[in-house]
């Protein structure tokens, strides 16, 4: 089978992965191929059991077209979402469902010279435990914090490789194609392709986590800047508080608005005698502490709601700056912290009202993600499938090549 034909089939699989269900005419437009050629590819893939017919489209007044979808177990993606403290790993199928996992692995990134080896070992154990053969795995997508150079396959902040780069090290050890990217960029990709920013041309995706990340969708595409480091929202110097930031500067947004700051302020407030249901909770471990504060806020705890109100207002001040610069149609609150839900919206909107020129902000909508914590895993899987047509994973087509 010619390489071009293999590429076309991979592109078809990619489009069905992201859209879920499409007609032959839809696929013909996306592939920029004739309907007869697209129909032939579909029939071949149906014959092989890769694609299934899913019924007729909803009536729009004419003849209803047949719709097609991928078989869920056609391929799998190992999806890895890392933060400074915990790494989550999941096996995703072609319907974006968990086929195995997710699991959590404690893996500290800062000052950990063996971090890359630990990551490889964790992924290897996960794949073995899944029972899924490597030939069925399209790739491994990894989202991680830090200054990630996608083209060079390195992270200037974490996971230094003794030789070569992160991608080369992991591919050599695991025998599966690997792709890496910044965690906030992948959360933006998840929202753009599979979340609430879908079909929006200009959107800002705020990753509320241990820092405050940002992914930018401009003119329908993920914007990375000159060398891939665009979106360091956490380090906009908003305050004159003399608080040292993780980046080594002071007064950055994250010093007053991150989830780490939220837990610190919660512990301090309780020590000062604040009345709260959190008095019954241990706030020593940051992950469980954040979840406890979120749960308390959702249940209407005044102290917890106040913590989110303060952090939200500060995030809103940063968003106001971005609105003046980029004039987006949508701002999505995503990531771990978005699980707090609607408690974020009033203080953020208040800050936008106070700090934005009304005419610039009047058509910008602030919305909550439907993915929240799962955005990281969804984005890492989407990274692999976004580049599937250019990958060297040809397991699906080897048999056809032999026949041809």
Domain that holds residue 11: 3-71
To the nearest 10 degrees (0 to 180), the angle between helices 183-194 and 375-386 is 80
* Residue 209 sits in the same domain as residue 347: yes
Domain shared by 216 and 154, yes or no: no
pLDDT at 175: 94
Nearest by Cα to 142 from 128, 158, 163, 131? 158
Identify the pLDDT of residue 226.
82
pLDDT of res. 374 = 93
Query: Across-strand partners of 178?
Result: 140
Tell me the per-residue pLDDT of 115-134, one tens digit each, with 9 for 90 and over.
Answer: 999 999 999 999 999 999 99
Tally of domains in the chain: 3
The pLDDT, as a whole number, for residue 98 is 97
Instruction: Say which CATH number the domain at 215 has.
Output: 3.30.420.40
How far from 96 is each of 73, 79, 199, 298, 382, CA to CA, in Å?
Answer: 11, 11, 18, 28, 9
Residue 15: give its domain's CATH number. Answer: 1.10.10.10
What pLDDT does 240 receive? 87
Q: Is the residue at 402 inside a domain?
A: no
CB burial of residue 375 (10 Å; 0-12, 13-18, 19+):
buried
Whether 351 is covered by a domain: the verdict is yes
* pLDDT at site 34: 93
Give me 96's structure tokens: 């974006």
| Cα–Cα distance measured from residue 120 to residue 109, given in angstroms and rounded to the nearest whole number | 14
- Residues paired with 213 in a beta bridge: 207
Residue 193, domain member (yes or no): no
Task: Tell me the CA distances in angstroms from 242 to 155, 232, 266, one per residue in order.
Answer: 28, 20, 20
Same domain, 326 and 179: no
Angle at 211 (CA atoms; ends 206, 214), nearest 5 degrees: 25
Closest Cα to residue 201, out of 187, 213, 214, 216? Answer: 216
Write out 364-402 in H/E/C secondary structure: CEEEECCCHHHHHHHHHHHHHHHCHHHCCCCHHHHHHHH
Examine residue 216 and state whether it is found in any structural domain, yes or no.
yes
Pair 230, 319 in one domain: yes
Nearest to 269 by CA among 257, 283, 259: 283
Q: Assess if residue 172 is contained within a domain.
A: yes
Say if residues 13 and 74 touch (Cβ distance below 8 Å): yes
Q: What is the pLDDT of residue 2?
A: 44
Is 192 domain-assigned? Answer: no
Same domain for 64 and 149, yes or no, is no
The CA distance from 157 to 109, in Å, is 9
The residue count of the chain comes to 404
* Last-in-domain residue among 49, 71, 93: 71
Report, as ranges of residue numbers, the positions in the chain whose pLDDT lies below 70. 1-2, 59-62, 394-404
pLDDT in tens, 184-216: 999 999 999 999 999 899 999 999 999 999 999
Q: Look at residue 232 in the predicted model and tell me its pLDDT.
A: 87
Same domain, 282 and 265: yes
Rounded-to-integer distance, Cα 252 and Cα 261, Å: 12
Q: Please check whether residues 145 and 85 belong to one and the same domain.
A: yes
- On whether both 211 and 355 belong to a single domain, the answer is yes
307 with 206, same domain: the answer is yes
User: Is 307 part of a structural domain of the chain?
Assistant: yes
CB 217 within 8 A of CB 188: yes
pLDDT of 396 reads 61
Q: Which two tokens stand for residue 309?
A: 């109100």
Q: Are residues 344 and 253 in the same domain?
A: yes
Angstrom distances, CA of residue 352 to CA of 44, 77, 86, 306, 335: 53, 39, 33, 18, 21
Check whether residue 324 and residue 361 sit in a common domain. yes
Name beta bridge partners: 206.
214, 333
Beta strands 330-334 and 203-208, pairing class:
parallel
Residue located via tokens 């959190």 = 278
Three-state DSSP state, 317:
helix
Residue-level pLDDT at 259? 93
Is the same domain home to 44 and 166?
A: no
Within a domain: 170: yes
């Amino acid at each position: 089978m010619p390489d071009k034909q293999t590429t076309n089939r991979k592109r078809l699989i990619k489009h069905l992965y992201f859209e879920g269900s499409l007609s032959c005419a839809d696929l013909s437009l996306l592939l920029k191929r004739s309907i007869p050629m697209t129909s032939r590819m579909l029939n071949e893939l149906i014959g092989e059991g890769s694609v299934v017919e899913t019924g007729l489209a909803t009536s729009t007044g004419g003849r209803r077209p047949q719709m097609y979808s991928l078989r869920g177990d056609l391929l799998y993606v190992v999806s890895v979402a890392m933060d400074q403290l915990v790494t989550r790993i999941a096996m995703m199928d072609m319907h974006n469902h968990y086929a195995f996992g997710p699991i959590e692995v404690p893996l500290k990134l800062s000052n950990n010279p063996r971090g890359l080896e630990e990551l490889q070992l964790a992924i290897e154990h996960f794949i073995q435990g899944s029972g899924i053969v490597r030939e069925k795995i399209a790739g491994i997508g990894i989202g991680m914090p830090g200054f990630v150079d996608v083209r060079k396959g390195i992270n200037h902040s974490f996971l230094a490789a003794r030789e070569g780069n992160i991608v080369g090290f992991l591919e050599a050890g695991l025998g599966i194609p690997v792709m890496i990217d910044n965690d906030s960029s992948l959360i933006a990709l998840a929202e753009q392709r599979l979340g609430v920013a879908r079909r929006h041309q200009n959107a800002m995706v705020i990753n509320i986590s241990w820092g405050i990340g940002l992914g930018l969708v401009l003119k329908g595409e993920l914007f990375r800047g000159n060398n891939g480091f665009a979106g360091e929202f956490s380090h906009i110097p908003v305050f004159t508080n003399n608080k040292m930031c993780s980046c080594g500067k002071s007064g950055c947004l994250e010093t007053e608005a991150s989830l780490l700051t939220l837990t610190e302020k919660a512990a301090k407030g309780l020590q000062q005698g604040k009345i709260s249901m959190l008095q019954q909770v241990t706030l020593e471990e940051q992950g469980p502490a954040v979840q406890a504060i979120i749960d308390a806020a959702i249940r209407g705890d005044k102290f917890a709601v106040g913590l989110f109100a303060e952090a939200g207002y500060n995030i809103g001040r940063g968003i106001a700056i971005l609105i003046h610069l980029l004039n987006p149609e949508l701002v999505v609150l995503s990531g771990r912290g978005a699980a707090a839900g609607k408690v974020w919206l009033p203080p953020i909107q208040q800050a936008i009202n106070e700090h934005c020129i009304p005419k610039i902000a009047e058509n910008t909508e602030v919305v909550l993600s439907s993915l929240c914590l799962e955005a990281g895993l969804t984005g890492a899987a989407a990274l692999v499938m976004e580049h599937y047509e250019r990958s060297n994973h040809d397991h699906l087509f080897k048999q056809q090549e032999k026949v041809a």
